[in-house]
Every structure is written in structure tokens, then in C-alpha cells.
Copies of this chain bind each other. A is one copy, B any other.
Amino acid sequence: MGDRITLSRAITLIESTLEEDRDLAEALLLEIYPETGKALRIGISGVPGVGKSTFIDSFGTYLTDHGHKVAVLAIDPSSGISGGSILGDKTRMEKLSLNPAAFIRPTPSAGFLGGVARSTREGILLCEAAGFDIVLVETVGVGQSETTVHGMTDFFLLLMLAGAGDELQGIKKGIMEMADAVVINKADGNNITASKIAAAEYKAALHLFEPKENSFQTEVILVSSHENTGMQECYTLIQSFNKQMLENGHLQHRRTLQNTTWFRDAVHTDLISTFMKQENKDQYFKELEQKVEEGNILPSVAARSFLTRFFS
């Protein structure tokens, strides 16, 4: 899987929900499995408007300048009705999209979180087998998707902005607790002083948290994606993280956790489709749905009746 066209096609295959594609996808994954696991998997999160794409564009370019092959995947469960970003991912990363040492995979345009998560996990493996040694996984949504991305990466980078005193409101404590690095973007021009103040506040807040499971001390770094500052600090931090986690065995531990989380998620996700396909569940389901439509039964009670019939 040397080239990017082959990689693209392979990802399209694993994103497919057709049953015959699924068989093929699993055969492919089994074949490449021994070649996987060699990249550092970095999750990048932050609220919309924080500048995730410009940061990835700058940081990814910095990484390729230092000899790395960089793949960018995105996880985006927010594609509700018609799905898809208004602006494509490629146009959002101008430098990186033209870079031969980089691979950008636009967000899958549809699907629920469970399905998107599976595609991203399998996409990481494909990128690794194709020789990319750094995989950046961007979350586009805010909410459940951070936890999902945290659960499939080694290093979790949270992008933030210096705000008007209410920095902590947008980002939940639970998300900050997952971060291995808090990176304050747009620390340039008139925004530098505010960014330094925000950095001090975050550092203070981080000290109040319990130590993380990997016992890595979360760093706060100021960057400007536009002026390309702070990229070296991010790189140094990630390198020191990687070294430390390899030495103390935590990287291996985290990978194991990523796999068991994946297994559990896959059981949950596939259970629904597998279950509904069995026997003639459809008829009883439709009967109950009809009652729900007519307002004759409380939906949660109907759900319980349905499940009780098949598990008793």
C-alpha cells in the first residue's frame, strides 16, 4: 500500500456498510495487521472556531519538514440531516494538502458516531500500514467525540483560545482532564498578552486535577498557526511524551486499552444491526411502533416490551 490512491481506496472500502465490502475489509485488515501500530496516534480536539485545521496545517507541515510522514483523519458525528462540512477538509489545509509526505482523508460524510469511530480506527491501521508514522485524528464535534478520539489515540492535544475571561465555560473539566497538552492557538498580535494570562490560568486549573493515568504532566503551550510559532515546542513535547511512554510501558498499556475499547464499541455497534436482522423481529417491532405512533403506549415501555419478548 505504498501510494495514496491505494490508501484512499482502502479507506473507502472500510467505510462501506455493504456486507460484501465488510468481508473484504476485514480480510484486508487481517492481512495488514502485522504492519500496524508503528505510528504515534495524536488526537486533536477543540471547539469550532479554535482553528484546528490551520493548526493541523502548520503543525503537520512542521512534522513533514522533520522527516515524518503525516496522515490526518477526522471524526465527525455531527452530520445529521444531510451531512458533510460546508467547506471540504482539503481546502481547509492548504499547505498540507499539497504535501507529498502527507495524507488527508476528508471526514466521512455520513454515519452515526459508532460507525464513524470504527472507520477511523480502521483508517489509522491502514495509514500505519502505508508507512505514515504520525497519525493526527481531529474531532470535529464537541461532546461525545472527544472521548471517542481519546479512546483511540496515544496523545491527546486540546486546542484552546484565550477568551474573555470565560475560557473554562466552553470546555468541560472532563475534556481538560484527558489532555496531554493544552495548546493555546492564535497567540499572536494583540492576542499575546491575553494568551499568556489564559496559559497561566490553565496551568493553575490543571494543577487542581488528579494525576492522569499515564502520569504525564499536562503542558500548556502557546502557538500561532498563522505565524508558525510554538510548533517546535509541540514537537518536543510529543517526542518527550513518546520516549517516556515507551520507557515506562504506558504506550503498550494504552494500545491495549485502545483495542479493548474498540472491541466493546464494536460489540455494541454491531449488536443492534445483528439483532434486528434475526428472525421476524420486524413484525413485532412494527406492531409496537404503530402503538407508539397512536400514542397508546409510552415509548420506553414499548421498548422494554419489545426486548422482554426476545430475552426472557
- Option from B84, B118, B169, B173 in Cβ contact (under 8 Å) with A172: B84
A161 (CB) vs chain B CBs: closest residue: B49
Find residues 118-151 in chain A having any chain B CB closer than 8 Å to their own CB.
Answer: 118, 121-122, 140-147, 150
A299 at the interface (CB under 8 A from B): yes
Q: B263–A174 contact, CB under 8 A?
A: no
Residues A78 and B267 in contact in the complex (CB < 8 Å), given A141-B144, A143-B142, A260-B293: no
Interface of A is mostly: helix
Output the least CB separation between A252 and chain B (Å): 10
Output the least CB separation between A107 and chain B (Å): 10
Residues A170 and B48 in contact in the complex (CB < 8 Å), given A141-B144, A143-B78: yes
Q: B295–A259 contact, CB under 8 A?
A: yes
Question: How many residues of chain A are within 8 Å of chain B by beta carbon?
Answer: 78
For A52-84 the 0/1 string (1 means CB < 8 A from B) is: 000000000000000000000000111111111
Q: A300–B262 contact, CB under 8 A?
A: yes
8 contacts between A and B (CB under 8 A): A30-B298, A49-B169, A78-B172, A78-B174, A121-B300, A259-B292, A262-B292, A267-B307
Residues of B within 8 A of A80 (CB): 146-147, 150, 172, 174-175, 177-178
